[in-house]
Amino acid sequence: MNKVQQATANLSNLPIKMIMQRLKVPTPPVLEGPDMVLRFPEVIAVTGVRRVLIVAGPTVSASGMIDPFIDALKQNGIDAVLYDKTMPNPTIQNVYDAVKVYNTRHCDAVVGFGGGSSLDCAKIVAAKATNDIPVEHMDGAFKLRFRATPFFAVPTTSGSGSECSIASVITNPETKTKNLIADTRLIPLAVCLDPKLAASMPPSVTAATGMDALTHAIEAYVGDMDTSFVRDKALTAGAEIFAHLENAYIDGDNLDERMAMMHAAFFAGEAFTRGFVGYVHAFAHAIGARYDLSHGKLNAMLLPHVLRFYLKSKKATAKLSEFAYNAGLGELTEDDRTLAEALITRIEDMNAAMDIPAVTDAINPDDVPELVDHALSEAWLYPVPVVMTQGDGMRLIAAISAC
Ligand SMILES: [Fe+2]
């Protein structure tokens, strides 16, 4: 990207920033605490729905953790139908299959129950139920013509922030690309944060999802669409994640640590849904869609390299230093560069402590130019503090590539 394109990109962010600063993005009401998943049907029942489609993935379904929720729904006069084939990177076909179940079983609401994949899939199922347009045509911002059918979220991981964000990411396996769908109509009517559900997460998933949440917080904070609300939520999320993620990774049954991470992921979700993400997500989406890799792990690998790239900007360096100081990673007497580098080092240390690899051997060198194209075109409207060239993108992928 040349200087003219960079200036154009920066200018094109201005109206979006003005819109995002004025746009009222609702924060969904939250029922939280151990076993609150058994009380959540009382909240759903208030809306008058009679038959919900639960959208989940096979692992969560096989674990049996949905069964008590279904029983509690029945006790509140609500039938439940289960769709449990959501893929880790949910596909367009997942959405169509679930919508078919929704329609044939005459459901009148959707519950996303699981990790970010299930919640993202459930959102688009709810949207498709009332918007007769192909998923591909929803790609982008504010493409939904009608309000989604009532949608509720029960996250079992702590990372995606999908439970409070306007965003959903759906993979198109044919093109090996991801559709990014953003609309305020995708925010759930209510959310249940039950730390007992998160306690079942294996350490590797705890690590990957937690680093995804950290990436949301940092990308929203360092980007140019930060508002006071975004900064506040991002800083709070960051401090919580540095204080609790490794504890949750080591001691998964500790409900206090799990609850803290659920809060952190929620706050980070609130931050990025208003402040957007940046290059870490753009490249993670491009690479993840091509090779079906974990979103959180890719974010964790890319994050230190992208933040080092941002050190070219004094403003970005200052912001990263604020983020580090707020998380207790240094002293006010230290200069911005030192604090920002302490943040990056801490991220690398956390990755290593949680067995997140620094590189992947999945990337085919022949694919790299196209991956960079996809990532840079996705990032075109992200409020990144420093704009990447094609060469920068190639170097970024090389930095996480074992080949
Ligand atoms: Fe993410």
Average pLDDT over every residue of 147-163: 96
Of how many residues is the chain composed?
Answer: 403
The owner of tokens 């609130």 is: 270
Could you tell me the domains of the chain?
A: 3-22+201-400 (1.20.1090.10), 33-198 (3.40.50.1970)
Task: Measure 6 CA to ligand 1 centroid, in angstroms.
Answer: 24
Task: Measure 292 CA to ligand 1 centroid, in angstroms.
Answer: 15
Confidence of residue 373 (pLDDT cuts 50, 70, 90): very high
Of 75, 87, 83, 77, nearest in space to 104 by CA: 83
Which pLDDT belongs to residue 318? 98
Task: Measure 288 CA to ligand 1 centroid, in angstroms.
Answer: 11
Task: Measure 214 CA to ligand 1 centroid, in angstroms.
Answer: 9
Which pLDDT belongs to residue 141? 86
Output b/e per residue, 222-247; b: 16+ Cβ within 10 A: bbbbbeeebbebbbbbbbbbbebbbe
Q: Is 277 helix (H, G, I), strand (E, B) or coil?
A: coil
% of the chain surpassing 70 pLDDT: 94
* Statement: residue 22 has pLDDT above 90: no
Bridge partners for 52 per DSSP? 80, 109
Task: Measure 215 CA to ligand 1 centroid, in angstroms.
Answer: 7
Q: What is the DSSP secondary-structure string of 253-268?
A: T-HHHHHHHHHHHHHH
For the entire predicted model, the pTM comes to 0.93
Tens-place pLDDT, residues 177-229: 889 999 999 999 999 999 999 998 999 999 999 999 999 999 999 999 989 99
* Statement: residue 284 has pLDDT above 90: yes
Tens-place pLDDT, residues 38-66: 999 999 999 999 999 999 999 999 999 99
Average pLDDT over every residue of 247-255: 98
